[in-house]
């Protein structure tokens, strides 16, 4: 994108200060992000982002959700007398022409701007200390949003609905567009998926029966979606596009899926795919500390289920994409999606072996 086009877009927003330069920021795969520097030291710098409207078809809903969430969190922080609030919650800048509107559309693309948080870093890898901090931060995030007075929209419909993900898989099996369904290793994986399908859909059943509530969740709880200060304290949770009502299992389970695997989700050496109980324990400890006060017994009891659910769901989603002919995730080689699915299946097997220890750990924490 040309500098002058970017400058034109930025100038539609009610920012203060003079733009000195605009340069790419971060390595996100879904949205395009730029840093907008201003000349004056007393004025903030900004983050300009193009929202991917293929992945998020209703950008207006995304921005209404974000506005509701950030203003609710800001009000809570102010009421608690928190200092340095601008570094603890994101602030999006409205348009000059409409102070209620937080994005603009230019040539069919969607743009928004937020204040850049200075002296903050993101992390890619975790250790037990940062997992504990992440558990606290994501539990706090859910806790602050527990009494949000508006109904948030579902920015990706049925995003973490296990019944829907299995239905998508069945549909692609029936069509077999890439001619991959009969591969023996696919058939074996389908057997493993089938064996667990009923159990893995229990959140949806409990939801229908009215025993499991939906709460406001982040739904993309990776460690790189948090900002830390230089003392390793969590400042705030970022990447709020997927914030929507969901079972709390989403935030708890997806963090452990990504952080507690000894290797990356596409590592092809299945012997190395192992669940890390040190990461599990540290994250769970932090999470129960900040979310324990509002969680229902049924939610706490099912945390081990949540830990299994997300590798299972991701196995189903990667296999679905493999059988579809690799349309959703970028692939570096023809079996990349199958390798990812297999990695997630092996993570699930390792998690299943840890079930008794996980249950005992949670019971012990809750009895204190």
Place of tokens 């990706």: 156
Q: Which of positions 236-295 make contact with Mg ion (CB under 5 A)?
A: 239
CB of 28 to Mg ion, least distance (A): 6
Q: Which of positions 3-32 make contact with Mg ion (CB under 5 A)?
A: none
CB of 220 to ligand GN1, least distance (A): 6
- Applying CB under 5 A, the site for Mg ion has a residue count of 2
- Applying CB under 6 A, the site for ligand GN1 has a residue count of 7
Nearer to ligand GN1, 45 or 265 (CB): 265
Nearer to ligand GN1, 220 or 281 (CB): 220
Burial of 331 (0-12, 13-18, 19+ CB in 10 A): middle
- The partner residues of 95 in beta bridges, in order of sequence, read 13
Q: Strand, helix or coil at 254?
A: helix
- Site map for ligand GN1, 150-169, x if CB under 6 A? ------x-------------
CB of 29 to ligand GN1, least distance (A): 5
Position closest to ligand GN1 via CB: 29
Contact partners, residue 257, CB within 8 Å, separation at least 6? 265, 307, 310, 311, 314, 344, 347
Nearer to ligand GN1, 15 or 193 (CB): 193
Return d(Cα 156, Cα 124) in angstroms, integer: 25
CB of 367 to ligand GN1, least distance (A): 33
Element containing residue 112 per DSSP (H, E): strand 109-115
Nearer to Mg ion, 222 or 365 (CB): 222
Return d(Cα 135, Cα 129) in angstroms, integer: 10
Return d(Cα 155, Cα 286) in angstroms, integer: 28
Indicate which single residue of 55, 115, 201, 270 sits in contact with ligand GN1 (rule: CB under 6 A): 55
Place of tokens 């969590």: 234
Contact partners, residue 207, CB within 8 Å, separation at least 6? 214, 247
Return d(Cα 109, Cα 258) in angstroms, integer: 30
- Site map for Mg ion, 208-247, x if CB under 5 A? ------------x------------------x--------
Counting Cα atoms < 13 Å in the Cβ hemisphere of 346 gives: 21
- Does the footprint of ligand GN1 cover residue 30 (CB under 6 A)? yes
Nearer to ligand GN1, 54 or 80 (CB): 54
Nearer to ligand GN1, 35 or 55 (CB): 55
- Site map for ligand GN1, 292-321, x if CB under 6 A? ----------------------x-------
Residues in the chain: 368
Nearer to ligand GN1, 270 or 300 (CB): 270
Place of tokens 């203003």: 71
Nearer to ligand GN1, 166 or 288 (CB): 166
CB of 207 to ligand GN1, least distance (A): 19
* Residues 206, 208, 214: CA angle, nearest 5 degrees: 75
Contact 45, 15 (CB under 8 A): no
Q: Which residues bind Mg ion (CB under 5 A)?
A: 220, 239
Q: Which residues bind ligand GN1 (CB under 6 A)?
A: 29-30, 55, 156, 220, 265, 314
């Amino acid at each position: 994108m040309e500098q002058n086009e970017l400058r034109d877009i930025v100038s539609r927003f009610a920012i203060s200060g003079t733009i000195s330069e605009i340069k790419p920021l971060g390595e996100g795969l879904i949205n395009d992000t730029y840093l907008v520097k201003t000349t004056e030291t007393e004025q903030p710098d900004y983050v300009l982002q193009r929202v991917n409207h293929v992945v998020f078809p209703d950008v207006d809903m995304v921005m209404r959700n974000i506005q509701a969430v950030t203003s609710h969190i800001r009000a809570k922080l102010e009421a608690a007398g928190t200092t340095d609030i601008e570094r603890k919650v994101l602030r999006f800048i409205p348009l000059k022409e409409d102070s209620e509107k937080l994005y603009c559309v230019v040539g069919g693309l969607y743009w928004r701007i937020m204040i850049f948080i200075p002296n903050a870093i993101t992390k890619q890898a975790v250790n037990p200390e940062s997992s504990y901090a992440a558990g606290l931060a994501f539990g706090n995030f859910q806790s602050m949003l527990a009494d949000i007075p508006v109904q948030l929209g579902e920015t990706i419909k049925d995003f973490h609905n296990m019944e829907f993900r299995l239905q998508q898989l069945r549909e692609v099996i029936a069509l077999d567009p890439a001619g991959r369904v009969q591969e023996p290793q696919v058939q074996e994986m389908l057997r493993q998926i089938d064996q667990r399908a009923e159990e893995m859909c229990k959140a949806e059943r409990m939801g229908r029966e009215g025993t499991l509530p939906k709460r406001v969740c982040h739904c993309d709880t990776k460690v790189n979606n948090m900002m830390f200060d230089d003392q390793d304290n969590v400042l705030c949770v970022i990447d709020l596009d997927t914030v929507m009502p969901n079972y709390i299992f989403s935030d708890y389970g997806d963090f452990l899926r990504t952080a507690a695997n000894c290797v990356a989700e596409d590592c092809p050496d299945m012997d190395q795919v192992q669940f890390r109980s040190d990461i599990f324990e540290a994250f769970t400890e932090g999470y129960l500390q900040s979310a324990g006060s509002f969680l229902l017994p049924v939610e706490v009891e099912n945390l081990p289920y949540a830990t299994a659910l997300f590798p299972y769901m991701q196995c189903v989603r990667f296999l679905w994409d493999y059988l579809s002919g690799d349309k959703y995730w970028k692939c570096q080689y023809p079996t990349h999606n199958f390798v990812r699915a297999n990695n997630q299946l092996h993570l699930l097997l390792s998690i299943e072996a840890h079930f008794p220890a996980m249950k005992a750990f949670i019971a012990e924490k809750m009895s204190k």
